[in-house]
A and B are shown apart, each in its own frame.
Chain A
Amino acid sequence: AQSVTQLDSHVSVSEGTPVLLRCNYSSSYSPSLFWYVQHPNKGLQLLLKYTSAATLVKGINGFEAEFKKSETSFHLTKPSAHMSDAAEYFCVVSERGATNKLIFGTGTLLAVQP
């Protein structure tokens, strides 16, 4: 079975400092991995996705993630945090099959301090 583990439930950074949100995955085959973000009282928005084309994936708003098979990781990073980045972030794996349902991590709440 496929799964993702988000290693931090809460992360707090200062504005202008780097962001690192950690995610490990478990999969018996090459996975499709996603990062989604949910701002307060908003829906889920796709930040980026990995589909085996390139291990370094660039997303929206300056975020990127690197797929590391040897470490089974797909960490999300951003060089410089902005106040508007404060939100909840979800690491997600797609279950291959007839449904392709998404399996979510437990979420990481990112706080950005001024």
Chain B
Amino acid sequence: EAGVTQFPSHSVIEKGQTVTLRCDPISGHDNLYWYRRVMGKEIKFLLHFVKESKQDESGMPNNRFLAERTGGTYSTLKVQPAELEDSGVYFCASSHYQASRETQYFGPGTRLLVL
């Protein structure tokens, strides 16, 4: 069974540009999460999809961030325009059931550097 995959693995862009990150969850997992770790800080929740619906986007930092999950399969996270403080590692995770005991399986992350 393939794990969670993320693309690209690294991205270097200039301030003001747009970047789109992609996450492919484990097949059959309805729950998809985005997390982020900025330099020197802890990993923090961004948002949660159940199938194609946003269940919770309370962690999204501002309206420069837009997440979608068309068809309830893969998800994209777009940052437009990117700012210096957006640099960090963006993780995607998926789980089958929606429960506190359920394991979330993480992808390798996308390392974003905004110059």
A residues with a Cβ closer than 8 A to B are 31-32, 34, 36, 42-46, 49, 51, 90, 94-107
Contacts and interface: CB of A to CB of B under 8 A. Distances in A.
A102 B101 contact: no
- Main SS at interface, chain B: loop
Contact of A98 (B3, B41, B42, B55): B55
B100 A95 contact: yes
B101 A90 contact: no
Contacts, number: 64
Contact of B91 (A31, A44, A98, A99): A44
Interface stretch (B11-19, B43-51, B70-78): B43-51
B101 A51 contact: yes
B43 to A, nearest CB: 4
Contacts of A106: 41-42
A94 B56 contact: no
B98 A100 contact: yes
15 contacts: A43-B3, A43-B4, A43-B106, A43-B107, A44-B106, A97-B100, A99-B55, A99-B56, A100-B31, A100-B95, A101-B59, A102-B43, A102-B45, A102-B93, A105-B42
Given A43-B91, A101-B33, A94 B101 contact: yes
Most buried by B among A31, A36, A101, A106: A101
A103 B45 CA distance: 7
A99 to B, nearest CB: 4
